[in-house]
Chains A and B, each alone.
Chain A
Amino acid sequence: MRELSLHVLDIVQNSIAAGARTVDVTVSEDEASDLLTIEVVDDGAGIPSDILESVLDPFYTSRTTRKVGLGLPLFREAARAAGGDLDIESWPGRGTKVRATFRMSHIDRAPLGDMAETVALLVVCNPDVRFRYRHTRGARTFCFDSEEFRSALGDIPPTAPALAGVLKNLIREGLDSVQRA
């Protein structure tokens, strides 16, 4: 994956497949400690403790259509290549938390990429899931909550394709204000 935002899109698919109703994505950029942290927290089915260790094994998958599962292993490789790591905590029946860390200045750290596009597409394609996105850079924070957005829609269907572009711009503007330090 060329961008970390693509990994986020991929990891959130796991949450959706696990039946999550709410997914919280948090990105925090802390230049003082040279640390980039990405967290995906969901309230899905969770992972039983005896399986938790295998999910980082590329040759483990819960699917039956194929024999490999590369999402989490690839995300961990991206983190480790940039002087960070990935850990997973899960509470069966309550949800899962995936947390990846990166040295911001590391030469092999992939760019964060287009988080606005990742979040916008998730929101339009999954009308039954609530997405909250929080992006912190130093002292500034941008928060997005899909429920606030959806409640402003009135009679516009929440899956209307035109909403993807609107959301992308909305989130992009919010992120720009965070980046302008």
Chain B
Amino acid sequence: MKTVEELERIRKQAQAMTRLREGKETTRIVVGMGTCGIAAGARETLSAIMDELAKRNIQDVVVTQTGCVGLCEQEPIVDVIKPGAAKVTYGKVTKEKARQIVASHIVNGQVVGEWVIASA
């Protein structure tokens, strides 16, 4: 069965990751999933983030969702919270931008300044 093989591959990666990040805190990515976010395309954005992380074999980032934060016109909104760094909030994150945020911010540690709407 394809699923079983696929899970076996992920398990090996996850084990390797766990060894690498012993004791380290994880990065969190939070996607706005209120009605406004979903209507603006947040499901596609979330899916692209998961896919880009998977492609890069990144297992130690936790992706979660949150409700509307009152900035509906900026949706889809994505927060990146790296351990020890300020929270960075990106606005109008299309699936293309989402992939670039993973490559630039998550992998290379470079905040994509032009899409940031808040940081605290």
Residue numbers of A with Cβ under 8 A of B are 1, 6, 9-10, 13, 17, 63, 65-66, 69-71, 74, 117-118, 121, 124-126, 152-157, 159-166, 169-170
Contacts and interface: CB of A to CB of B under 8 A. Distances in A.
Interface residues of B, number: 37
Contacts of B53: 161-162
A160 B2 contact: no
Given A155-B11, A162-B13, 5 more contacts: A66-B68, A121-B47, A156-B11, A159-B63, A166-B3
B50 A165 contact: yes
Nearest to A12: B33
A170 B47 contact: no
Interface in B28-63: 33-36, 38-39, 43, 46-47, 49-51, 53-54, 57-59, 61-63
Say whether chain A's binding surface is mostly helix, strand, loop, or mixed.
helix
B34 A13 contact: yes
A70 B34 CA distance: 9
B109 interface: no
A148 B68 CA distance: 31
Given A1-B38, A10-B35, A156-B11, A164 B67 contact: no
B65 interface: yes
Given A155-B14, A155-B15, A162 B46 contact: no
11 contacts: A6-B39, A9-B43, A13-B67, A152-B7, A154-B11, A155-B14, A160-B14, A161-B54, A162-B10, A162-B54, A164-B47
Contacts of A165: 50-51, 54
Contact of B38 (A9, A160, A163): A9
